[in-house]
Amino acid sequence: MTRTALFRPLNLGPCSLSHRVVMAPLTRMRASRPGNIPNALNAEYYGQRATQGGLIICEASQICPEGQGVPASPGIHSPEQVAGWRLVTDAIHAKGGTAFLQLWHVGRISHPSHQPGRRPPVAPSAIAAQGMAMTAQFQREPFPTPHALTGEEIARLLGSYEQAASNARDAGFDGVEIHSANGYLLEQFLQSRSNQRTDEYGGSIENRCRLPLEAARAVASVWGANRVGIRLSPFGIANDSGEAEPMPLYSHLIGELDKLGLAYLHLIEPRASGAGQKEVDHKDAPSACELFRPMWHSTLVTAGNFKGDEAEATVAKGAADAIAFGRYFISNPDLPERLRLGAELTPYNRATFYGGGAEGYTDYPTLPRR
């Protein structure tokens, strides 16, 4: 199959892309500690995967200390982190790439060992997630009961989103993506299983959508909406998430987000929910991009277990404008070129996904030069 659709140019807000193979945001837990600071090894990793006119969405980065949920994940709330990310954006730009940063708050998917003063993590309601947290020592313990955010704390949280967006700009990024997927804080507000509030942030669909929309407006106030994306997982089940009837909720949310003029909507396909933790391919799952494409008038990016031919077909028929790849971008630094040529893909080693050093990070091979 000739892959021409994936290699057509694409305008992403003011950014011009030469192809539609996107690197998805991928937690790797290799920031320097203490401080959760991006470092030279991170810059090498991203620089290896950057291409002329390609989009790299750098990994989820906590917007404030309370937003952290796993050890050695980078932040974007301190001057040292901003300086560390500048190493990364310089490496991506040196290859002609475009760099966005994913803004992250994990909410209840955390552990006191990550929290200032070892306090409980925060959430819309005091409902513990089912499952096991990863502590600061890379151990597993049950998720604790979180603290329900007050109205005043929510106002401060929105200020953290705005400040993190400003910090990302200072670090040299070309834009940002808001993480509102995978069972983390903003999705916890969206979904009735984790949000049982009785104030203006809970109850009705409109109220549950309020915080993600306010976060999007706060971030857009810094960047301009055309340099802001948002990631959603409408049918996801990661991190004890999931809405019994997703279509009414996400149809409303996407319709309201569409009015903001964001650069892109980034969907996680339901067949890939939870793929970061284990191999999954949920059968008979709906196509998120096909369902929500009619509701979205800007660029649509989708991700989830795509191979080359299926990615090409999805873009060719207009169901999405670009395809984000995760695990195969880990093990194939030159993934766009391999997809263009139809070359064999190097398999990934899941055991080296999280934590560690160069092994399974910067030591994957590229195709021989011709």
The residues assigned a catalytic role are 184
d(CA 171, CA 136): 26
Whether the bond into 34 is cis, omega within 30 of 0: yes
DSSP string computed for 3-61: --GGGS-EEETTEEES--EEEPP------BTTTTB--HHHHHHHHHH--TT-EEEEEEE
- 14 burial (CB, 10 Å; 0-12 / 13-18 / 19+) is exposed
Phi, psi of 279 (to 5 degrees): -75, 125
DSSP string computed for 297-310: -SEEEEESS--HHH
Phi, psi of 56 (to 5 degrees): -115, 125
d(CA 57, CA 73): 15
Tokens 């139809």 -> residue: 342
**DSSP3 helix / strand / coil % (the chain, rounded to 5):** 35, 15, 45
